């Protein structure tokens, strides 16, 4: 095995260990335990965590190094992402990076840590093998799949989804495939179906994945997606018929696609099942619906334009807006309005948002109401430490606001 290959495997093992630093089941499988000679020692998992945390701390630049130097970026990314277990979105927000840039920098930071470990512990050893589970390539593929799903769960946000718009988008994307197989797919949305709460990217990919497997088997036929709801759940039932009007059977390819799509849907709290019949099957996807009840949201912000923006964003949704511009009167206004959620600006005249947050957390009639700190300042960690339930950085989109409010109020119910 060449040295570059050994370093690639070391990086792979290190990435796995960082990803599962606090997951004893996965961490116990990592080959770094043997390479560091702590596999048979006392508390090997604790020792591995301390070794990796210490190696990251050893990369901390001195006080003379400028704050915008690449060395600080490497250290901060490794600390936030793996020692503190922040998501990529949270880390990117704290560091004023885009998520795409953060992913690229994270890869580079892990490479730096790989080389540091290699020199410090004279790694990698020639005996390193990528096969952790005894199944060679298949085991590596499985591990990559698990890591990818874990990454998606951490980085893809839940949001409010219009099921009709979702299906229109999916069918539009699948149009070339449908034309190639001479298949038409239509959908029917039952009246009163609520918005969906889930991960748009993963739900969309799950549907496309199912169509990619089912459509070629339905050449010359047609498909139908029925959308209904009950008990705050939205159900999508997909049936595909062949040209002879028989249902598409559950073949091996469709089974494989069903398994992958099920994992994607479950990331957002949904389920996916196949209801088999003698001549075929129907596929049922169930997703959590966004709350349809009227929910009062109280916004505390001294900027009239910002309050108008909130009003525009919340119009036509299940959220009713009340507001305060004077922080001195805000606490009394919140008590009177009795909202299910509070959105609080930080830069307020007289009493700033941090002090007002403390008052809200102490008052017996407001301490149980979740508070969203909404500010242009990148201070999410401070907000959460002081008792905020969530953080929304300005400027924000309508989708980001609705998703956060739906998530907060759903967790209350």
Confidence (pLDDT) at 294: 73
Q: What percent of the chain has pLDDT over 70?
A: 83
Mean pLDDT, range 349-366, rounded to an integer: 89
123 cis-preceded (ω within 30 degrees of 0): no
Q: Which pLDDT band, with edges at 50, 70 and 90, does 127 fall under?
A: very low
Q: Are 187 and 224 in contact (CB under 8 A)?
A: yes
Neighbours of 33 (CB within 10 A): 21
**Mean of the pLDDT values across residues 326-350?**
90
Buried residues in 219-249 as b, exposed as e (16+ CB within 10 A): eebbbebbbebeeeebbbbbbbbbeeeebbe
Residue 291 has pLDDT above 60, yes or no: no
Averaged confidence pLDDT in the chain: 81
DSSP state of 14: H
Instruction: Kindly report which listed range (114-128, 317-331, 336-350) carries the lowest average pLDDT score.
Output: 114-128
Say what the pLDDT of residue 152 is.
Answer: 59
> pLDDT higher for 61 or 169?
169
Question: Model pTM?
Answer: 0.44
Laid out side by side, the sheet with 319-324 consists of 319-324, 295-300, 341-344, 371-375, 390-393
- Average pLDDT of the residues in 386-410: 83
pLDDT at 276: 60
pLDDT surpassing 90 at residue 371: yes
Cα–Cα nearest to 211, from 170, 182, 267, 245: 170
CB neighbourhood size of 293 (10 A): 9
Query: Running DSSP on this structure, what letter comes out for residue 62?
Result: P
Specify the DSSP class assigned to residue 247: B
Residue 298's pLDDT band, with cuts at 50, 70 and 90, is: very high
| pLDDT value at residue 101 | 86
pLDDT band of residue 13 (cuts 50, 70, 90) is confident
Q: What is the mean pLDDT of residues 10-22?
A: 87
42 exposure class (CB count in 10 Å sphere: 0-12, 13-18, 19+): exposed
Comparing 64-68, 85-89, 236-240, 264-268, which segment has the lowest mean pLDDT? 64-68
Half-sphere exposure of 129 (CA within 13 A, CB side): 10
Mind listing the domains of the chain with CATH numbers?
3-155 (no CATH), 159-288 (3.30.565.10), 295-412 (3.40.50.2300)
Q: How confident is the model at residue 129 (pLDDT cuts 50, 70, 90)?
A: very low
Q: What's the burial of 189, exposed, middle or buried (CB within 10 Å: 0-12/13-18/19+)?
A: middle
* Per-residue tokens: 69: 């130097």
B/e letters for 107-116, b = 16+ CB within 10 Å, e = fewer, are: eebbebbbee
Evaluate if residue 140 carries a pLDDT over 60.
Answer: no
CA dihedral 30, 35, 37, 38 (to 10 degrees): -20
Which tens digits make up the pLDDT trace of 156-215? Answer: 666 778 899 999 999 999 999 999 999 999 999 988 788 887 788 889 999 998 998 889
Indicate if the pLDDT at residue 374 is higher than 50.
Answer: yes
Which range of 110-119, 178-187, 310-319, 388-397 scores highest in mean pLDDT? It is 178-187
**CA nearest to 185, candidates 258, 228, 234, 238:** 238
Instruction: Indicate whether 131 pLDDT > 90.
Output: no
Question: What is the C-alpha end-to-end distance of the chain, expressed in Å?
Answer: 56
Q: What gap in Å lies between CA 181 and CA 242, rounded to an integer?
A: 10
């Amino acid at each position: 095995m060449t040295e570059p290959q050994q370093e690639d495997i070391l990086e792979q093992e290190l990435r796995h260990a960082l990803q599962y630093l606090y997951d004893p089941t996965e961490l116990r499988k990592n080959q770094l335990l043997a390479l560091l000679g702590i596999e048979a020692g006392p508390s090997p998992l604790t020792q591995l965590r301390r070794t990796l945390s210490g190696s990251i701390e050893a990369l901390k630049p001195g006080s003379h190094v400028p704050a915008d130097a690449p060395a600080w970026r490497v250290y901060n990314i490794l600390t936030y992402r793996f020692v503190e277990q922040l998501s990529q979105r949270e880390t990117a927000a704290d560091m004023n990076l885009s998520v795409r840039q953060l992913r690229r920098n994270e890869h580079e930071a892990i490479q730096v840590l790989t080389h540091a470990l290699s020199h410090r512990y004279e790694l990698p050893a020639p005996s390193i093998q990528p096969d952790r589970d005894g199944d060679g390539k298949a085991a590596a593929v499985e591990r990559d799949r698990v890591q990818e799903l874990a990454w998606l769960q951490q980085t893809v946000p839940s949001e409010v989804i219009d099921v009709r718009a979702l299906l229109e988008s999916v069918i539009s994307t699948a149009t070339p495939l449908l034309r190639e197989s001479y298949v038409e797919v239509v959908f029917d949305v039952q009246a009163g179906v609520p918005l969906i709460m889930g991960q748009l990217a993963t739900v969309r990919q799950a549907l496309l994945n199912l169509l990619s497997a089912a459509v070629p088997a339905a050449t010359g036929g047609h498909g139908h997606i029925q959308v209904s709801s009950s008990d705050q759940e939205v159900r999508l039932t997909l049936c595909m018929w062949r040209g002879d009007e028989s249902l598409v059977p559950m073949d091996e390819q469709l089974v494989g696609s069903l398994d992958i799509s099920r994992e994607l849907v479950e990331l957002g709290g949904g389920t996916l099942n196949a209801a088999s019949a003698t001549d075929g099957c129907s596929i049922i996807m169930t997703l959590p619906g966004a709350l349809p009840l009227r929910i009062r949201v109280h916004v505390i912000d001294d900027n009239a334009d910002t309050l108008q923006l909130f009003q525009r964003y919340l119009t036509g949704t299940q959220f009713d807006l009340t507001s305060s511009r004077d922080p001195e009167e805000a606490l009394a206004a919140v008590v009177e309005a009795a909202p299910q959620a509070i959105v609080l600006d930080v830069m307020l005249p007289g009493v700033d948002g941090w002090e007002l947050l403390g008052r809200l957390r102490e008052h017996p009639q407001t301490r149980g109401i979740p508070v969203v700190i909404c500010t242009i300042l990148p201070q999410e960690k401070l907000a959460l430490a002081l008792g905020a339930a969530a953080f929304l950085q300005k400027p924000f989109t309508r989708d980001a606001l609705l998703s956060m409010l739906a998530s907060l109020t759903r967790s209350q119910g």
